[in-house]
Structure 1
Amino acid sequence: MNRTRFGRLLLVGGTGLLILLLALPCILSVVVLFQEGVMRFDYLMTSELGFVALCTALLLLCGTLLARTPYLLLVISFPFLLVSLFSLALLSDPPPVLAAVLLIVYNLSLVTLLVHGILSLR
C-alpha cells in the first residue's frame, strides 16, 4: 500500500468519524423523541466527545500530509479546534456568553474540518 492510498484511507476514516460526530446529536434526539415522546437536543454532545474530534482531526492531518492534498482549511481550523476545546474543558464556571462563543467557534471549526475532508477526497 503506497502513501497516497493510505492517506486517502485516513481521510475517509476521519471524514466518516466527523460526519458521525456532527450527526450524532440529531440522531439521538430523534431516537429519544420516538422513545419518550419528548424532543431533547443535546447541543453540548460534540464538545463532550472532544476526544473523538481530536482523533478525527489527527486522522485528517495525517491523511492530508500523506495524500499530499491542499491543506489550507486544515491549517485554519485546527488551531481554533484545539484552543476552543481546551478552553471549554479547562474553564471552570465561565460566563455564559464566553461559553456560547467558544462552543460556536468549536462547532464551526468542526464544520470547516468536514469541508476540508470532503474537498480532499475529490
Structure 2
Amino acid sequence: MSAPVQDQPRPTMRADKWLWHARFFKTRGLAAKIVTGGHLRVNTVKVHKPAQPVGPGDVLTFPQGRQVRVVKVLALSERRGPAPEARALYDDQTPAADPAPAAPRFEGRGRPSGKDRRNARLYERGQLD
C-alpha cells in the first residue's frame, strides 16, 4: 500500500505586501491602511487584516483613487521591481468606466478676462444703461 500523495501548499503572500509589490500603492503602509479599513475583498469576501494570504488565482477588489480595481493574482514576487515586472503579477479585470464629463466653461470661452469681470460689475450696478 502506497502512501497518499500530499498536495503541495499553495504559495501565498500577505495582501498588503502583494498590493505594494504590484505597484498599486506607493507604500506598504498605504496598502495596509486600505486593507485594515475593510476596503479589500478577496474572492468577494471582505478582508480586514493586512496579513491575509493571497495567491495565484485569487481575485482582489479594492478602491484606487476614484475607481474600483478588480484584479486577478497571476503570480507572487520576491521584490518590488520595475513596472513591467509588476504588471506581470496580475490580470486587470476592471470594467471600463465612462469618461468623466469635461469641466464646465464660462460661456464656452474659458476663464473670464479682466474686461469681462469689469463689465459684469458695471452691469450689476446698472451703470451700463
TM-score (norm 2): 0.21
Query: Which protein is richer in helix relative to its size?
Result: 1
TM-score (norm 1): 0.22
Which entry has the higher C-alpha Rg, 1 or 2? 2
